[in-house]
A and B are shown apart, each in its own frame.
Chain A
């Protein structure tokens, strides 16, 4: 199931919240959450739900073993065993075809490919369980004694399929005991609805406009068209991903979970290093804490460590060479920044730095989007005006004209202009006793309008008149 669906909004979520708040006892609430989470997962993956439970079982027991035999070789063995099992599962389901395909191409062998579909969310929950086992081993957290509670951590539907990657440590206390306050419920609702709007109104619309441009015939694409296409894709992926994180954080808040922020206006960054501190933060910190620092961080083999981390970051996003290229591209740019670029950029005016960042990120998205690397290079060629049908076409002008307002709204949505506006209003009203009231009226109105529009868009997406159109 996805958050941005009618079934979720008008069936799953209200039902979950009703049952949740009907129970007063934390144990029952946890049970309710687990049951709903498993249903949520089974909705898209009725078979691989077994894998999720299997994975959770493994890590549950490994955690117990590590804690019981702390500081002995058994703990270390259990840690290694857990890592091997988790990474093997991820490797088998996500990367085996990729590896087999590459070996087949390289050596001319005929290793048969499997035709399993990739279990949804496996990349996320595998990383969550790995972080748990490692943290228990490092004695940074206590092992969870209750399987129910551990399963809740692994399967919680808020972050199960699209992150953020929540560390056990962050919510360990809240699994045991948590409360919903009025103001957190209030904020959680706002956050959830904002995320829903980002996903349904902005990401989906950007995707609809971008798709025919990016999937069309590149020979006939103009330079301007290519730029419009990739900028729209940048909007789509940001609003999609951060919208999902917003919804997860908001739903967590509604019932007393506090997940860490996952996005912080990445597109306003000035350097790539800053971009990655603002983009998919939970993934960046995962790689920092569990790969980069254990490898030696910046103390020894710095460049090697960076390249490993960025290779893995790329590969984590998908089993394809284009993702590896995308990851390594960032690795190289970050090394370059550390060695030369940062000093140079500091001397230049801020907007130059900002343009540099945006150009780098857009180039990155080209590799991210096109799973066919050749096509990615052709597309870059069109962007540079070397390939394609010229600098400009009638269709580009029409796309700009017909989506101008949307493009402006989307661009503003990537910047913290709305929070700034809110601050400004609350500054102005500081002395007024109506300050809270203004927001408390404004929020529900905005929320209802957004929900209404999202519902219309979600229904509209399935509008499908039957036509004898083709002939």
Chain B
């Protein structure tokens, strides 16, 4: 009988002990491991109590601040890896968004954490809602308020399918728009990731509606920008496209076909063929294994495709001095916590610009940064060494005295390619439509920009959200 006490005592000691230690251990504001701010104890209000919000927040707070949270997360993912049979080669991991939808935070730079004060205080006082007024004497072209109203543009369904349905080839039904794989019934975000051969790759799901929408958005942009402005579109294929195993390749729709479907629909916009340049070198280290981005080398081959379209010669790679950053575990590792990935971290190679330049990032005012910002080599998100990560607006002025000015409207794939443009342009404007809150045509007109490059990875044509962001900066007052 006495031996029965052990079970009882241990049970109570475990629950009460952990409960007590947890209650008295301090709260953390930020999780570096998860790269986000953690839930704090909610403030009480009658309204939040009655709506149930108060207790929901306490639940979130409790789990976010739970004792040894990071270790428990690691343990659970390690245990979950044991649930398979031996001898497996590839694995599809389905990633659900958690409680704190990352999209909500996307308006903030992902280095917006208290300890990050390396590059001037201005940067930490980001307020994207407010107008950005340049600091005086900064030497940077000012950005006055929009002087004229620009008519709104929204893409209309293509005439062929609306006005004249018989144009559609009969017999072959158009692929039905499938529900977007990125959201499940509860609106939670889902990503599908293949882990194979020590690499994680995002799976791609083609969506013809979204492709059309993207192409029409760019066409509308070109129409509104006017004749004098050259508009390019570069869609970058992602790593899954070049996986060497046919079987796993079939898990994902063809980006080659999706990209060319978009390019065929462009009118007035110049398509940039990055695909075949990357394809020629697909056995090289073009994509990170643990991150969804391409390497600078991958970006370089895309750039050589752009050079063809823009009419200049690509600078040979050996012209650049390089530097390596070891032990990079990127976003796909964060999402999957895969031990295979952890054992095979990436190396980032940066190609250092040889052209003299001045790079400033614009929030409320300009903040001077470096095109290759080695500060981030020591941080968690090392991909941010390229133009210091995603910023609403970055302006690079170079010593190249040729009068060419380009605006790059990009997602984070653009970050690794922009540094290669330095030898060819006097001014480079880099806009991230996820963060930019002003009218894009105003920027073009005020600065007499002649070329615009849309530079995105192929997954943006899998749904409409990125095109919507482009529309937003086009229609912004």
Q: Which residues of B contact A399 (CB under 8 A)?
A: 92
Q: Which residues of A contact B23 (CB under 8 A)?
A: 11
Q: Are A405 and B191 in contact (CB under 8 A)?
A: no
With A186-B7, A465-B36 known as contacts, the answer to whether A402 contacts B84 (CB < 8 A) is: yes
Which residues from 268 to 313 on chain B have a C-beta closer than 8 Å to any C-beta of chain A?
292
Q: How far is the CA of A451 from the CA of B75 in the complex (A)?
A: 13
Q: Which residues of A contact B88 (CB under 8 A)?
A: 398, 401-402
Which residues from 393 to 434 on chain A have a C-beta closer than 8 Å to any C-beta of chain B?
394-395, 398-406
Q: Are A43 and B55 in contact (CB under 8 A)?
A: yes
Which residues from 368 to 412 on chain B have a C-beta closer than 8 Å to any C-beta of chain A?
390, 411-412
Q: How far is the CA of A44 from the CA of B52 in the complex (A)?
A: 6
Residue ID in chain B nearest A405 by CB atoms: B83
**B72 at the binding interface (Cβ < 8 Å):** yes
Q: Which residues of A contact B49 (CB under 8 A)?
A: 46
With A182-B4, A440-B3, A459-B72 known as contacts, the answer to whether A448 contacts B110 (CB < 8 A) is: no
Q: Are B8 and A451 in contact (CB under 8 A)?
A: no
Q: Are A464 and B460 in contact (CB under 8 A)?
A: no
Q: Are A466 and B63 in contact (CB under 8 A)?
A: no
Q: Which residues of B contact A400 (CB under 8 A)?
A: 85
Q: How far is the CA of A7 from the CA of B434 in the complex (A)?
A: 36
Q: Are A463 and B98 in contact (CB under 8 A)?
A: yes
Q: Are B15 and A465 in contact (CB under 8 A)?
A: no
**A444 at the binding interface (Cβ < 8 Å):** yes
Q: Are B15 and A444 in contact (CB under 8 A)?
A: no
Q: Are A11 and B62 in contact (CB under 8 A)?
A: yes
Which residues from 351 to 407 on chain A have a C-beta closer than 8 Å to any C-beta of chain B?
394-395, 398-406
Q: Are A447 and B66 in contact (CB under 8 A)?
A: no
Q: Are B50 and A47 in contact (CB under 8 A)?
A: yes
Residue ID in chain A nearest B432 by CB atoms: A471
Q: Are A10 and B15 in contact (CB under 8 A)?
A: yes
Q: Which has the most chain A C-beta neighbours within 10 Å: B80, B92, B96, B457?
A: B80
Q: How far is the CA of A212 from the CA of B22 in the complex (A)?
A: 34
**A460 at the binding interface (Cβ < 8 Å):** yes
Q: Which residues of B contact A219 (CB under 8 A)?
A: 178
Number of interface residues, chain B, beta carbon within 8 A: 91
Q: Chain A nearest CB: distance from B41 CB in Å?
A: 12
Write the B57-68 contact mask toward A (1 if CB under 8 angstroms, else 0): 011101110100
Q: Chain B nearest CB: distance from A429 CB in Å?
A: 14
Binds A, one of B118-126, B140-148, B245-253, B342-350: B245-253
Q: How far is the CA of A360 from the CA of B35 in the complex (A)?
A: 47
Partner of B6, one of A6, A185, A401, A444: A444
Q: How far is the CA of A172 from the CA of B64 in the complex (A)?
A: 41
Q: Are B83 and A464 in contact (CB under 8 A)?
A: no
Partner of B102, one of A443, A448, A451, A467: A467
Q: Which has the most chain B C-beta neighbours within 10 Å: A5, A44, A212?
A: A212
Binds B, one of A13-21, A67-75, A134-142, A158-166: A13-21
With A46-B52, A215-B185, A462-B64 known as contacts, the answer to whether A436 contacts B15 (CB < 8 A) is: no
Q: Which residues of A contact B36 (CB under 8 A)?
A: 464-466
Q: Are A211 and B184 in contact (CB under 8 A)?
A: yes
With A451-B14, A456-B76, A468-B390 known as contacts, the answer to whether A401 contacts B85 (CB < 8 A) is: yes
**B190 at the binding interface (Cβ < 8 Å):** yes
Q: Chain B nearest CB: distance from A228 CB in Å?
A: 13
Residue ID in chain B nearest A455 by CB atoms: B72
Q: Are A443 and B7 in contact (CB under 8 A)?
A: yes
| Interface majority SS (helix, strand, loop, mixed), chain A | helix
**A224 at the binding interface (Cβ < 8 Å):** no
Q: Which residues of A contact B94 (CB under 8 A)?
A: 208, 212
Tally the A-B contacts, defined by beta carbons under 8 Å: 220
**A189 at the binding interface (Cβ < 8 Å):** yes
Residue ID in chain B nearest A193 by CB atoms: B11
Write the A215-229 contact mask toward B (1 if CB under 8 angstroms, else 0): 111011000000000
Which residues from 435 to 454 on chain A have a C-beta closer than 8 Å to any C-beta of chain B?
436-437, 440-441, 443-444, 447-448, 451, 453
Q: Are B11 and A189 in contact (CB under 8 A)?
A: yes
**B134 at the binding interface (Cβ < 8 Å):** no
Q: Are B190 and A212 in contact (CB under 8 A)?
A: yes
Residue ID in chain B nearest A185 by CB atoms: B8
Q: Which residues of B contact A395 (CB under 8 A)?
A: 92, 251
**A59 at the binding interface (Cβ < 8 Å):** no
**B97 at the binding interface (Cβ < 8 Å):** yes
Q: How far is the CA of A430 from the CA of B1 in the complex (A)?
A: 17
Partner of B58, one of A7, A47, A401: A7
Q: Are A468 and B83 in contact (CB under 8 A)?
A: no
Q: Chain A nearest CB: distance from B356 CB in Å?
A: 30
With A401-B85, A404-B85, A462-B63 known as contacts, the answer to whether A456 contacts B456 (CB < 8 A) is: no
Q: Which has the most chain A C-beta neighbours within 10 Å: B1, B51, B52, B456?
A: B52
Q: Which residues of B contact A405 (CB under 8 A)?
A: 82-85
**A470 at the binding interface (Cβ < 8 Å):** yes
**A205 at the binding interface (Cβ < 8 Å):** yes
Q: How far is the CA of A399 from the CA of B72 in the complex (A)?
A: 25
Write the B90-129 contact mask toward A (1 if CB under 8 angstroms, else 0): 1110101111101101100010000000000000000000
Q: Are A468 and B412 in contact (CB under 8 A)?
A: yes
Q: Are A466 and B34 in contact (CB under 8 A)?
A: yes
Q: Are B59 and A460 in contact (CB under 8 A)?
A: no
Q: Are B55 and A459 in contact (CB under 8 A)?
A: no
With A13-B15, A211-B184, A466-B35 known as contacts, the answer to whether A436 contacts B3 (CB < 8 A) is: yes
Binding site for B on A (CB under 8 A): 1, 5-7, 9-11, 13-15, 17-18, 42-47, 182-183, 185-186, 189-190, 193, 205, 208, 211-212, 215-217, 219-220, 394-395, 398-406, 436-437, 440-441, 443-444, 447-448, 451, 453, 455-471
A-B contact pairs, 28 of them (CB 8 A): A5-B59, A10-B22, A14-B12, A18-B16, A42-B55, A43-B55, A45-B52, A186-B4, A217-B178, A394-B251, A395-B92, A395-B251, A402-B83, A441-B6, A444-B6, A447-B7, A455-B18, A456-B73, A456-B76, A459-B69, A460-B75, A462-B60, A463-B34, A465-B34, A465-B335, A469-B102, A470-B102, A471-B412
Given contacts A186-B4, A215-B185, A401-B84, 5 further A-B contacts (CB under 8 A): A45-B52, A182-B4, A398-B92, A436-B3, A456-B79
